[in-house]
Structure 1
Amino acid sequence: MAAIPFIGRLHPYEYFALVASFLIAFLELIVRTITLLLPTPIIRIFYRLSRNAFNSLSSPYSRRARNRRKNVSSPLAQAHDFVELCEQYGYLAEEHVVQTKDGFLLGVHRLAWRRGEEDQRVNNGPASIQKKVVYLHHGLMMNSEVWVCITEKERCLPFLLVEQGYDVWLGNNRGNKYSKKSLHHGPTDTQFWNFSMDQFAFHDIPDSINYILSATHQPSLSYIGFSQGTAQAFATLSIHPALNNKVDVFVALAPAMAPPGIASGVVSSLVKSNPQVLYLLFGRRAILGSTTMWQALLYPGIFTWVIDKSLAFLFGWKMANIAPHQKLAAYPHLYSFTSTKSVVHWFQIIRNGTFQMFDDEVTSPTSFSTGSKYYKVAKFPTRNIKTPIVLVYGGSDSLVDIKIMLKELPRHTVAKCVPKYEHLDLLWASDVDTLVFPHVLEALESYALPSDTKGQALGWQTRTRPSIFDTAGVTPNGTAPPGYSEDEPARNHGMPHTPAFEYERPSTAEEQMDESDNDDDDYADDSPSSPDGPVAFTPSAFAHSSRPPISDARAADISIHNTARRTRQAPASNAGASRQRTATVTTAQPNQQDEDTIHSQTLQNSPDSTGISTSADTDRTVVRSRPEGWWSSTSSSVVSLVEPASPSIPQRIPARQG
């Protein structure tokens, strides 16, 4: 029985869930067809009825609070595109088109100018203003709008980076709102939608990065991804070794690699069943294409309620850290088109528990041979990534298993946990500017190369790029791991690290959308929209962070063996302050029974005048290292958590003898 995949994978109760999913999809098809046949006046009547019903079920206080915030959320929710969203805050956005090697045309957006800099040339030759480049990429079934549909400018990462002096680019996947064109196929053609994450990794990400570097005349950029945007970076950096020299640092927000599973029994049954079942449900073109129709027909409050309930049903998320007015502004921009095949790819990854390429040889439901003994899908070799990686994940994110993820990533990966954060909180939470952004800024300042033109960077290109590895003590007898080059010892200058903090800031967002009686006061009249025009951005808006200065950090220190010191001058802030960081990396010789060495850092820092200190209110920082012989297929890795000590007595763990 187990030899038949469609039957052997499912439990009896999962068959009921599978049948229920077909019934739900069929019911939605009937309702959608009837709705499309109705005349417009009838649809408007139903819209008014739904609005009145929603308002009647809300408390008077909730209605008043919602009306107060309507001038904030409504313009953002009704904005048609990325450029219009940026105009709400007075930023000039450029639109670019990237042609991939397989003929897809991808829309890419650029934010390079602070307010008042629009007449300046940025990264456009030696006479222009030189800025470091940052590339941001969205998640599954999203587009670049999710980064800028924020109700307070201080919580918008692209706007913050622009004000910090970066040249910000935002990419889009093929098939979504801004990339729905190909030189070979139309969007109504099934072949147009025949793509998965493999195509994102082989074409979309590397071609977008190469285009941006060519347009800005820069040798490298920094990459910030969210959700699937991180998975695409993991994949493309692992299969394109040369691309590692073009990415200074990879910051992964809500990283996704091999999710542990789906909370919903209905979706879990689809994950375990044959992929043909998903194609039968949603077709072979765009998945959930009717979402935009329901968004246009439903009253915004009801649409937001439906999204909240759907996310709770699928992933168990409570969405309590995102304010109601932020949901009203962001949910209309949450969905964008993608292929059913890309979702099938994720189901294969979840089912097999490994970050693999798409399995094209799908076993037939009537086949009696699974072929698992003779056939294996290629994995993305993520341990080969050389680019520095900083993971920022939520402590309550059901899609992230950080221990499993760290085992599949190189030893220099740094992980930072934000307690009580779920998946979407890394984008839209009410306190994202104090709990997440400091990690991002610190990673960029620590690893990003100084801005330079290509002509000036020729010397850099002829030299080996500085490595973040400290190879001493890695091998027991002086042998080098695979991929080790002769000049690696000359590249072992210590990289800046981040300390562990014990401070944890509770969430301040409203927990419910309409039942709250006093939470809306927290969002009272700091609206970005005003009669006088866009609100001016001030760096001091980020000075209210409760994070301690680096000099007071309670970091653990494990000492024995090789010590690498490096002093680095960080780029000046907007206020002209400079930061000097001294990093000490100490490595402990592992016991024979230990599987991992623990890396801990002690950093000293003088706070700058802008009030943006490094690292943030997280409960712990995970820094990962591999033991001797870590490249062996038989070795395993264990995540080590370094808890902060008391402020008066630094925590020191003696080295193990053995």
Structure 2
Amino acid sequence: MSLIKMLFGRENWFLVLVLILVGLEQGIRIATILLPNRIRLWFYNKSQRLYLWVFPELMCDGMVGAMCSAKDTVDLCGIHGYAVEEHFIRTSDGYLLCLHRIMPKIKPKQSPSPRPPILFVHGLMMNSEVWVTNMKRKNNLPLVMCDEGYDVWLANLRGNKYSKKNSRYPSEKKDFWDFSLDNYIVFDIPASIDYVLSVTNRDKINLVGFSQGSIILLAAMSMHPHSYKSVNALLAFAPTISPKYYQSKIVQAIMNANSQFLFLLFSRKSLLASVTFWQAVLYPPVFAKIIDLSLNFLLDWSSKNINDEQKVVSLSHLYSFTSVKAFIHWTQIVRSKVIQMFDDNPGPQTSYYTNLNRIARYPVENIKLPILTVYGASDSLVNIDVLKTVGDHFEDFIKVPNYEELDLLFGRNCYEDVYKPTLEKFNEIARPQSSSSASTSSSKAARKVIA
């Protein structure tokens, strides 16, 4: 009993359950790896037959099969007829990051004032693929904006499948994974913005973030005046600082757990790296069904706006690598309800502020920038009231009824329900403004909500 109190700070048996489940999963994975290939193939075929005995076949659709088989962002965009350029940049601390530039499928409309480039930043445990996995072309926001004349770039933050290189450390080493959200903010975002502006020979850029990506962009703007001055506007999808509620006691226990316990639970390297293994050995609809049920149990996401075929496609491209430290940093932000820097204090009772310790926070309230926030009314992870306390610069909101977080990307009616009203508003606020008019706009006290 004393050991449990020491590890958890209180008797929290949900964390004990998590520890048991993680250990059980690792044991099954190791045992499966040791099996001969013919045994693993037998298991794959049996999982397929079992699934088809209960559910209809989804892989017979040619589009589903093609998009599930797509190896990368280049292939996914190619299915819709768009070519993609891959660019690589090196951060000052040695990480090699991949940027995807989507080339226009049709010739952009001529304009006396061409639109500036726009950079998309993905969320936690994701990569650039999440933006372009919808089977309907118009339901992929980067493709729509490319057609409208934007120069579209998709970022890949350090650690994911496209940015898994470092000039000093191989990804097998623990040192490679020793990064938090601070490293994204201090190194990755400024380097990506500077590179895009350099290649396009432009002095202004627009930004789009999803979930954690929105928070990272906000923090980066508060830390880098040079990059901040180059930004026209920010489009923030489902920025997650604090959830509205916890559906699962397991999730609540993890989010409130001591950082040192989470390192003990998940290691100090890549978070949930075994997901890619199970994705490889399971029939795609089986893998998608497991993920779908898990999201419903853990986050109360029903995904009613996403059809079954789309789930098979999008969930097969949803996960990518990130560090355990980055995840722990996010849990610290969720607990404190403040966009703060990583708390290195290993003590059992971490908090944003005590009489002994004050964790440095990002001064996002100083940002004077047009920001459009889009969120789903049914998203358990987005507490819009907490977001409004971050700063007065959150003035424009689009609230999408009956939508959850992933619905904003994978929903069957994304264009009509989300992107069409979002683009109308974003194109309005993203127009270059003079310094005086921008200052006046940013000082408005009233907040406008489009429901």
TM-score by length of 1: 0.64
2:438 aligns to what SS in structure 1?
coil
**Following the alignment from structure 2 to structure 1, what is the Cα–Cα distance between the partners of residues 282 and 199?**
42
Q: Residue 277 in 1 paired to residue 261 in 2?
A: yes
**Following the alignment from structure 1 to structure 2, what is the Cα–Cα distance between the partners of residues 140 and 392?**
17
1:105 to 90, 96, 101: 96
Q: Residue 428 in 1 paired to residue 410 in 2?
A: yes
8 Å Cα contact 1:143/1:336 also seen in 2: yes
Shift of 1:143: 0.2
Q: Residue 23 in 1 paired to residue 20 in 2?
A: yes
C-alpha deviations, 1:61-84, integer Å up to 9, x for none? x44xx366x211110011111111
Q: Residue 51 in 1 paired to residue 48 in 2?
A: yes
**Following the alignment from structure 2 to structure 1, what is the Cα–Cα distance between the partners of residues 347 and 164?**
31
**Following the alignment from structure 1 to structure 2, what is the Cα–Cα distance between the partners of residues 371 and 147?**
37
Read off the aligned partner of 2:340 and give its amino acid letter.
Q
Partner residue of 1:456?
A: none
1:139 aligns to what SS in structure 2?
coil
8 Å Cα contact 1:91/1:115 also seen in 2: no
Read off the aligned partner of 2:41 and give its amino acid letter.
R
Partner residue of 2:337?
A: 353
After the TM superposition, which residues 25-424 of structure 1 pair with which residues of structure 2 at under 5 Å, given as runs? 25-58=22-55, 62-63=56-57, 66=58, 70-115=61-106, 131-260=115-244, 262-363=246-347, 372-411=354-393, 413-424=395-406
Partner residue of 2:422?
A: 440
**Following the alignment from structure 2 to structure 1, what is the Cα–Cα distance between the partners of residues 70 and 447?**
47
**Following the alignment from structure 1 to structure 2, what is the Cα–Cα distance between the partners of residues 333 and 402?**
28
8 Å Cα contact 1:390/1:416 also seen in 2: yes
Q: 1:103 to 1:5 in 2, by over 3 A?
A: farther
C-alpha deviations, 1:302-342, integer Å up to 9, x for none? 11110011111221111111111111111111000000001
C-alpha deviations, 1:38-73, integer Å up to 9, x for none? 111111111111111111112xxx44xx366x2111
Partner residue of 1:640?
A: none
Gaps of 5+ in 1: 123-128, 451-459, 471-493, 496-584, 588-596, 601-619, 623-658
**Following the alignment from structure 2 to structure 1, what is the Cα–Cα distance between the partners of residues 20 and 394?**
48
**Following the alignment from structure 2 to structure 1, what is the Cα–Cα distance between the partners of residues 372 and 352?**
38
1:225 aligns to what SS in structure 2?
strand
Q: 1:381 to 1:192 in 2, by over 3 A?
A: same
Read off the aligned partner of 1:316 and give its amino acid letter.
D
8 Å Cα contact 2:370/2:393 also seen in 1: no
Read off the aligned partner of 2:49 and give its amino acid letter.
N
8 Å Cα contact 2:15/2:253 also seen in 1: yes
8 Å Cα contact 2:74/2:84 also seen in 1: yes
**Following the alignment from structure 1 to structure 2, what is the Cα–Cα distance between the partners of residues 423 and 335?**
15
Q: Residue 469 in 1 paired to residue 439 in 2?
A: yes
**Following the alignment from structure 1 to structure 2, what is the Cα–Cα distance between the partners of residues 371 and 323?**
44
8 Å Cα contact 2:186/2:220 also seen in 1: yes
Shift of 1:261: 5.4
Give the stretch that moved more between structures: 341-350 or 172-181: 341-350
8 Å Cα contact 1:138/1:226 also seen in 2: yes
Read off the aligned partner of 1:133 and give its amino acid letter.
P
Shift of 1:364: 5.4
Q: 1:599 to 1:130 in 2, by over 3 A?
A: closer
Shift of 1:147: 0.7
2:125 aligns to what SS in structure 1?
coil
Shift of 1:9: 4.7
8 Å Cα contact 1:357/1:377 also seen in 2: yes
8 Å Cα contact 2:7/2:261 also seen in 1: no
Shift of 1:8: 7.6
1:468 aligns to what SS in structure 2?
helix
1:250 aligns to what SS in structure 2?
strand
Shift of 1:183: 1.3
**Following the alignment from structure 1 to structure 2, what is the Cα–Cα distance between the partners of residues 311 and 598?**
35
Read off the aligned partner of 1:91 and give its amino acid letter.
Y
RMSD of aligned Cα (Å): 2.6
Shift of 1:242: 2.9
Shift of 1:377: 0.4
TM-score by length of 2: 0.92
Shift of 1:469: 3.4
2:296 aligns to what SS in structure 1?
helix
Q: 1:337 to 1:205 in 2, by over 3 A?
A: same
Shift of 1:92: 0.9
Partner residue of 2:450?
A: 621
Shift of 1:413: 2.5
Give the stretch that moved more between structures: 407-416 or 213-222: 407-416
8 Å Cα contact 2:241/2:337 also seen in 1: no
Read off the aligned partner of 2:13 and give its amino acid letter.
F
**Following the alignment from structure 2 to structure 1, what is the Cα–Cα distance between the partners of residues 38 and 420?**
50
8 Å Cα contact 1:5/1:370 also seen in 2: no
Read off the aligned partner of 1:96 and give its amino acid letter.
H
**Following the alignment from structure 2 to structure 1, what is the Cα–Cα distance between the partners of residues 394 and 33?**
54
C-alpha deviations, 1:254-274, integer Å up to 9, x for none? 112233554321232222222
**Following the alignment from structure 1 to structure 2, what is the Cα–Cα distance between the partners of residues 7 and 82?**
42
**Following the alignment from structure 2 to structure 1, what is the Cα–Cα distance between the partners of residues 47 and 283?**
6
Gaps of 5+ in 2: none
**Following the alignment from structure 2 to structure 1, what is the Cα–Cα distance between the partners of residues 310 and 127?**
17
Higher helix share: 2
8 Å Cα contact 1:9/1:272 also seen in 2: no
Structure number with larger C-alpha Rg: 1
1:257 aligns to what SS in structure 2?
coil
8 Å Cα contact 1:221/1:448 also seen in 2: no
The size of the alignment, in residue pairs, is 446
**Following the alignment from structure 1 to structure 2, what is the Cα–Cα distance between the partners of residues 245 and 67?**
48
Q: Using CA pairs below 8 Å that are at least 6 residues apart, which structure has the higher relative contact order?
A: 2
Percent identical among aligned pairs is 37
